Structure 1
Amino acid sequence: MTTEQGPNMIMHIGELAEKSKMSLRTIRHYDEVGLLKPSGRSEGGFRLYTADDLDRLLLIRQIKALGFSLEDMADILHIIQTLQSDNAAADTPGTRVKLDGYLEQALERRTKLQDYLARGDEIIATLEALSR
């Protein structure tokens, strides 16, 4: 149930799950481990999420697709938040080194996924040729 539209919209967990194409269970788990805390709670205690929460969840989904651990995901989210903040002092050499490390890992993981996809395409082509 959306109570508002646009950047100020408020969603219950079901709508967040639908918009993100993620399960309620996963979203609840991300809340439990601190990756995605709801922006608020209804009078009945239901989790309430904003458009910013949806954006964060979609970012989590992108990071998860590369196989990063929950701990790495939290660290990557923190780095992104730090570098996107208006606080120039938060942009330290240590943060940049961590960012570079995660970028390198992400590139390596993407390459591995591309290799898997190419192998998948090969077997699909073989199966399709046999099915004719």
Structure 2
Amino acid sequence: MDDTGLKIGEVTERTGLSIPTLRHYDSVGLVTPSGRSPGGFRLYAEEDVRRILLVRRMKPLGFTLEQMRDFLDAADVLRDGRADDAGARETLAEIRAEARTRYEKLLKRLAYAEEFLELVDGLEA
């Protein structure tokens, strides 16, 4: 990659994540920038940003870094059309099922919060 990628500050603006978070993702091998500038600064390609956004969406659902890494690896296998896609499809199915379960739990908690707010508001009526 040449030095035309996005610098870390630009990526933080687009993703809403902090610089330390992006550096951590790089250090643990979750999302590694595609390049470096001549001065050694991280440079992110659009594909890197897409991966970061996937991670950002998984984080509030409580997925571990390992689960995120497994998901990204599986997505890469399927996107590239590699022959070893059976394991990738299984990983995606597991992540999808887990995401659905976590989503439904969040919906229930949200409904409880709305109900609670209605009760609190009703105390002042």
Indicate the TM-score class for this superposition, using the shorter chain for normalisation: 0.7 to 0.9
The letter for the 2-side match of 1:109 is: R
Tell me by how many angstroms 1:129 deviates: 3.6
Of the three residues 98, 106, 110, the one matched with 1:113 is 106
The answer to whether the aligner puts 1:126 opposite 2:87 as a matched pair is no
Tell me by how many angstroms 1:63 deviates: 1.5
The answer to whether the aligner puts 1:31 opposite 2:26 as a matched pair is yes
Tell me by how many angstroms 1:131 deviates: 5.2
Please give the TM-score of this superposition, normalised by the length of structure 1: 0.83
Structure 1: segments with no counterpart, 5+ residues = none
The letter for the 1-side match of 2:8 is: I
What is the CA–CA distance in structure 2 between the aligned matches of 1:51 and 1:102, rounded to whole Å?
A: 24
Of the three residues 36, 45, 53, the one matched with 1:41 is 36
Count of aligned pairs between the two proteins: 123
> Is contact 2:5-2:35 (8 Å) kept?
no
What is the CA–CA distance in structure 1 between the aligned matches of 2:93 and 2:77, rounded to whole Å?
A: 14
Please give the TM-score of this superposition, normalised by the length of structure 2: 0.87
The letter for the 2-side match of 1:110 is: Y
Q: Which residue is equivalent to 1:57?
A: 52
Q: Deviations over 1:25-82 (max 9, x none)?
A: 1111100110111111112211111211111110111121211100011001111111
Q: Percent identity?
A: 42
Of the three residues 6, 10, 26, the one matched with 1:15 is 10
Q: Deviations over 1:73-101 (max 9, x none)?
A: 100111111111133x1222x33222222
> Is contact 2:33-2:42 (8 Å) kept?
yes
What is the CA–CA distance in structure 1 between the aligned matches of 2:123 and 2:7, rounded to whole Å?
A: 48
> Is contact 2:5-2:44 (8 Å) kept?
yes
